A = this chain, B = another copy of it.
Amino acid sequence: MAKNVPYSSCETPVITRRKIVNRNRHYSFQDNFRWKGVKVDEYKTNGDDWDGIARQVLIGACGESTKFHLRYFEIKPGGYSSFETHKHEHVVIGIRGSGKAKLDRRIVHINYLDVLYINPETPHRLYNPYDAPFGFFCIVNARRDKPRSLKKK
């Protein structure tokens, strides 16, 4: 598995030549919703149907053999994810501030530690209509299909 995993913050630049190994890891929580040793990326590297989202991959980029990946996303006030659909599921857990999810035509409010399960092929978007950051864990299958953008808000 490690072969297919892109270079990630699990290995610092100093040890880029070291093989990424599947081993016990402890990511301690830091100030401002960062985890020690985990880098912050943009939500996506392309597209114009999203805004103001950062991503941290906590489990899934460092050779872990789990059938799932754990990510933390944070949406700035006014930000939103792509409105999209796919075969794989999402499990979302709110941990910072509050936000909303549009599930097809339904709007769900996500508060602290609420758990949201998004069923396969449900068109969805997460967004932050509030004045404070909205942060959440998102768990997905490690092997998953590519999202299809629905190109509307």
Contacts and interface: CB of A to CB of B under 8 A. Distances in A.
A68 interface: yes
29 contacts: A22-B119, A24-B118, A24-B119, A26-B114, A26-B115, A27-B115, A27-B116, A27-B117, A28-B114, A29-B94, A29-B113, A29-B114, A35-B115, A58-B115, A59-B91, A64-B89, A66-B68, A66-B89, A66-B117, A66-B139, A66-B141, A67-B67, A67-B68, A67-B143, A68-B68, A68-B139, A70-B139, A93-B137, A139-B139
Contacts of A120: 22, 65
Interface string A53-72: 00000110000111110100
Contacts of A93: 70, 137
Interface majority SS (helix, strand, loop, mixed), chain A: strand
How many copies the complex holds: the figure is 2
A10 to B, nearest CB: 10
